[in-house]
Amino acid sequence: MEAKSLNIGDNIKKFRELKGLTREQMADYLELSVSAYGNIERNKTDLTISRVQQIAQILEVEIAQILNFDVSQIFNIEHNEVIQGSHSKVEHNYADEYREKYIKMLEAEIERLKKILGER
């Protein structure tokens, strides 16, 4: 049986994007160069547990979520459910649902930031 490789860098990137952070911001928080941080997202750096813990704190997620990213963890949805119709099966496309929820989350964040800036 072949071991499943962990795509920790990909998972970090997904959470970073969900949080609306740039690579530059993450590199700054971690006191790394942007290039060194980019190597983390490209899975070219072996990470220590303490570094993964630091990244998890910045992204406000659990370490386990970084080690095993799953969209359903974020939006509480189940994987590709097949809905039975009267004469046909309709596959619900969760990629579209994920994209819509991500857009709504970003729009809400933009509104929140506009309010903060408007209060100054």
pLDDT at site 67: 84
Check residue 12 and give its pLDDT: 94
pLDDT digits (tens, 9 = 90+) for 3-44: 445 689 999 999 999 999 999 999 999 999 999 999 999 999
Distance CA 34, CA 36 (A): 6
Task: Check whether 74 has a pLDDT greater than 70.
Answer: no
**pLDDT of 112:** 82
pLDDT band at 80 (very low <50, low <70, confident <90, very high): very low
Mean pLDDT of 42-63: 93
User: Whose CA is closest to 13, among 31, 2, 27, 32?
Assistant: 27
Q: What is the pTM of this model?
A: 0.56
Give mean pLDDT, residues 64-84: 57
